[in-house]
Amino acid sequence: MLGSINDMRFLAPVMPGDRMEIAVQILKMAGDITLVEGTVTVGETVVARGKLGFARRTLGAAAV
C-alpha cells in the first residue's frame, strides 16, 4: 500500500499516447516498510521524479 510521497516533482507534461518508462531504486527496507526513489521518462525526457514509501499489508485484512 502506498504510504507516502516525498520530494515528488513533475517536470514536463505527459500527453495521451506517450510511452512512460518508470525506473525505481530501493533506498531502504525496514520490516514491512520500503522507501523507493523513482524516475519517469518519456523518450529521453525526465517528466517526473520523487520518493515513495510503501507498507506491506495482507490482502483481505480487516479495515481498522
Q: What is the pLDDT along the chain (64 residues), one digit of tens a residue?
A: 888 999 999 999 999 999 999 999 999 999 999 999 999 999 999 999 999 999 987 777 555 5
Instruction: Return the HEC string of the chain.
Output: CEEEEEEEEECCCCCCCCCEEEEEEEEEEECCEEEEEEEEEECCEEEEEEEEEEECCCCCCCCC
pLDDT of residue 60: 72
What is this structure's pTM? 0.76
pLDDT of residue 64: 56
